[in-house]
Structure 1
Amino acid sequence: MSPPPPPTDPTNLQASNITGTSVTLSWDASTGHVTGYKILYRLSAPGSQLETLVSNTDNTDTSYMVSNLKPDTAYAFRVIAIGLGGESQMSNFVRMNTDAPQSTPLPTAPANLQASNITAASVVLSWDDPADTSITGYKIVYRIPSPGSQLETLVSNTGSADTSYMVSSLEPNTAYVFRVISIGSGGESQMSNFVRIDTPGS
């Protein structure tokens, strides 16, 4: 008894649900004694060759999710039907580009920075809640307003989304300028407005 002929070629190969690392391939079913599909790919670059991504899906499903792709990369795919009679010819090519990585936006800057409860050695800084859930803490910077003075970091990260902070260990009878920066998963925000205080004498 002679073996059955190879399955017919898969047709209408398409790509959907494209992300930075995956794509769903779908195609019209081959006819004949189909037992699975082989999925081939190549990078859409000069000189690249087709390589086997999946040697046999071992089922007759006509879709397959390809994962572990590189972001912002061009790929081309083809599909081959596998059956008792061997392999079909290749399907049409489908070309796609994975999505570029999405950058996390910078957090919202604090606003309306104010100073209260000023003593010779401390001050309470407070600011409006930026209403940004990405914020994980705040950086507090300061300078003594004199010619050539530069902003310095007083607190690198409060480690809290609280919108007030008591600064201590200040010098009496001294002028200070403060600014606050939001910290989040996307990095650091722009600076808040500045607030100037003068500590009283001890």
Structure 2
Amino acid sequence: MRKAVPYAGALLVPAVAGTLLWRWADRSLRSPHGLPTVLALVGGLALTAVALLAHNALFREGGGIAAVVLLLAGLTAVWVEARDSAVLGAVTDCVVVGEVRVTHHPTFGEGAPAPKTLYHHTLDCVGGYPAEFSAEERIAGPGGAVRIAYDPDRRMDPVLARDNESHGSPVIPTSLLVLSAALSVTAIAREGQGEGDGEGRGEGRRKGLSS
């Protein structure tokens, strides 16, 4: 029974911290009811710090550094995936104004990313934002109509409305947090085994001597 609390903590700390951080990030970054980026990050860092402190308080005698690293990696992945799952909340109709400007961005060195060509479109949008949109393709010529999805609070870059989809997945953060919990559970299960084995060997030696 003395291990019931650590066992429960090993499972609950990653699960609760990951769930709360995902909900916080989703609410903070999703338009139009989000918070400024700085406040969102501060809240996320605070939740992560509380989770690490709780882990240390419960498992400082058996949690292990690997479990802490996986917990931190899992919570970082939670934030990244939640950010990528945020869908921009506003859409505006725009018209391309003037000629599309093209810039070329070469790269150098072995293993460098492929060269990139960007097409810069000057836009006249309902509401006045965005005034310019850059993409790796020509989305329309002069006078062409374009639909743009954007964040009214300007925390994320605008995208084409057709590309305004969720790309985040909970698979990676969940896997990391489950591994962290598994390491903590294993460490708790092994606590005291070494002492017990040592006592058993000592008792055996004493019996041998007495006989």
Same fold (TM over 0.5): no
**TM-score normalised to the size of structure 1?**
0.20
User: Going by fraction, where is helix more abundant, 1 or 2?
Assistant: 2
Greater relative CO, 1 or 2 (CA 8 Å, sep 6+): 2
Rg comparison, structure with higher value:
1
Greater strand fraction, Structure 1 or Structure 2: 1
